[in-house]
Amino acid sequence: MKPVIFGLSGPTLTADEAALFRAADPLGYILFARNCVDRAQMCALTDSLRDLSGRADLPILIDQEGGRVSRMKPPVWPDFPAPAAFAKLYDRAPSSAIAAAKANAQALGMMLAEVGVTVDALPLLDVGQPDMTGAIGDRSFGADPMRVAALGRATLDGLAAAGVVGIVKHMPGHGRATVDSHLELPRVTAPAEALEHDMAPFATLSGAPMGMTAHLVFDAWDAERPATLSPTVIRDIIRGRIGFDGLLMTDDIDMKALTGTPADKAAAAIAAGCDAVLDCWARLDEMHAIADRLEEIAPASRARLDRAMAAVGTVSTVPMAELVATRDRLLALT
């Protein structure tokens, strides 16, 4: 198994993709809107990926956060609120906000599990700042670390209740970035003492099954390399100070915050201490180059993967409509 998560080009596997994936045996796959047509098509696609890998617990990821980051869209699938909606309710009624976030995540997880998706790239634990880039914006649970951790925990618990694994992101915190890492490399100049504030939700939820890195340079820790490629940040901050021992994947290595060839970036991320590389755009030549460059997954990384996926498949006994009704009743309190 190669420590990489690949994207797919369309609603079905192409022959070239199937040949590459059969040979490389990537850790998992990630789906985007281009891969999500309807329920029958998604079930057939996810079944084909499991058949190809021979793994019933295959990680099949999606970014289904609610709000503007939603790959499965109406009219086939319902809209879900952005995370900021729960932060707003928390101002008025913290317990109700936590209950609403859990019900929302459980309903969301049921929707994903129905079509064979096993991992959701949610929740964001990025603590908001006044000048935070709009790329985060309403995807954040707010500016208070305790609130972010509480709503993040509720989201992880709700997803788990539907048999879906959550990913905490973007470690060790994206809230101080003032530019979009999809387009350029953010640099955080805050001192280490201030960054304790940003790390707090990740430390609180350090037992999360999966985590995702941030493509940010933190001058206080490593002024030369973004967190994704920094052995110092991964070893001393994410694994050490935060205490995270789940499966750690990169954010998409195609983002413009990182420079170099896809294979070089992938190899550098694994060398820095990431367990897996996320490569989203299904460019066949780049996927071949990454697969050729990477060694087999390390035993410690495989153990983290197995732990993370152990609970997949739990069946929720609460009807999705009931969960949505509970969420909406609570959100109406705002």
Question: d(Cα 287, Cα 298) in Å, to the nearest integer?
Answer: 19
3-state secondary structure 90-128: HHHCHHHHHHHHHHHHHHHHHHHHHCCCCEECCCECCCC
Phi, psi of 285 (to 5 degrees): -65, -40
Contact assessment for residue 138 and residue 67, using Cβ atoms and an 8 Å cutoff: yes
Residues 6+ apart with CB under 8 A from 307: 209, 246, 247
Under a CB-based contact definition with an 8 Å cutoff, are residues 311 and 165 in contact?
A: yes
Which amino acid belongs to residue 54?
Answer: G
Catalytic residue among 182, 219, 245, 288: 182
Q: Is 303 exposed, middle or buried (0-12, 13-18, 19+ CB in 10 A)?
A: middle
Query: With 0-12 CB in 10 A as exposed, 13-18 as middle and 19+ as buried, what is 18?
Result: middle
Rg of the chain over Cα atoms, rounded to whole angstroms, equals 19
Question: 303: which residues sit within 8 A by CB, 6+ positions away?
Answer: none
Beta strands in 139-291 (DSSP E): 165-171, 187-188, 210-213, 217-218, 247-252, 276-279
Nearest by Cα to 173 from 146, 148, 202: 202
Distance CA 233, CA 221 (A): 7
Q: Is 251 a catalytic residue?
A: yes
Q: Which listed residue (63, 120, 251, 275) is catalytic?
A: 251
| Helix orientation angle between 284-293 and 262-272, rounded to the nearest 10 degrees | 40
Query: Is 182 designated active site?
Result: yes
Active site residues: 182, 251
